[in-house]
Amino acid sequence: MDEAQKSWIQRFLSYLAHERRYSPHTITNYQRDLKSILAYCEKQDIGAWRDLGEYQVRMFVAAGHRQGLSPRSLQRRLSTLRSFYRYLNREGEIKTNPALEVRAPKASKRLPRTMDVDMMGKLLEMPHKDPLSVRDWAIMELLYSSGLRLAELVDLDLTDVDLSDRTVRVTGKGNKTRIVPLGRFSVEALAKWLGERGSMAGAGTDQAMFLSQRGRRISHRSVQSRVKLWARRQGLPVEVNPHLFRHSFASHLLESSGDLRGVQELLGHADISTTQIYTHLDFQHLARIYDRSHPRSKRRS
């Protein structure tokens, strides 16, 4: 493809960043997928985006499958291609979407890992006597208390947290904002961190809630490495990552409340089917409710 055709990729990525307000991590994924699609087009001598047809898209997916890509990765590539062509259509560059009817092989549903309440409690009993450990404690309490995504936590500003009202304003996927309550322990941890934050703030510090040791907004990688470090220090038998807090938050809340719609709102899921993946984790809890409540239950008090 010539440079004019290739430039559509950068325009699309710019659109995602500035109009759709997607996170840098998401944009990087889109960019990687589009590079693989571009490489395929050039290998097949496809000189313009309008020349890519449904048959070629199917062959692109088949080639990825032969290379050993998982169904989930192929689904993501197709989703990227559909979004890209919707953008080209909006801009008047093309009139069709060749990826619209193409489907990737079905992926088996991966059930989210969670930590049980005792394991989570052990992790959050970590010592917090210096600014760095206080920050880490506040981060983990907030992840578990409010079910934030990693990107949502990193993007938090000071003005997003209201300790008096015990709420946090979160900007999630698609630049959608939601208000999430803060638990008692996360309020305590955040208040202590705000008292220590000044010792880590640099000369050019912005309004980021969580700072690195250099006084800048903390990075995704730093949060991941610190969570992993504390899990090891606290002797947890599993590898812990930030998203595990979100899974545990959803599972524990659903077990206690049974309110699937409420959990959906707190997690910021656009579709309740995304939230329903947590219902399988709660089967034993539901079975107990059945045994206790249903008139045809085998158990009798």
Active site residues: 149, 173, 243, 246, 269, 278
Instruction: Return the percent helix, strand and coil in the chain, to nearest 5.
Output: 60, 5, 35
Which residue is listed with tokens 């985006």? Answer: 49
Q: Where are the beta strands (DSSP E) in 95-190?
A: 161-162, 167-171, 177-181
Please state, in angstroms and rounded to a whole number, the distance separating the CA atoms of residues 168 and 139: 13
Q: State the SS3 of 237-254.
A: CCCCCHHHHHHHHHHHHH
CB proximity list for 30: less than 8 A, separation 6 or greater: 12, 13, 16, 22, 80, 83, 84
Expressed in angstroms, the distance from the first to the final Cα of the chain is 74
Quick check: helix, strand or coil at residue 93? coil
Q: Which amino acid is at 112?
A: P
CB 221 within 8 A of CB 120: no
Which residue is listed with tokens 């989930």? Answer: 72
Dmax over CA atoms of the chain, in Å, equals 76
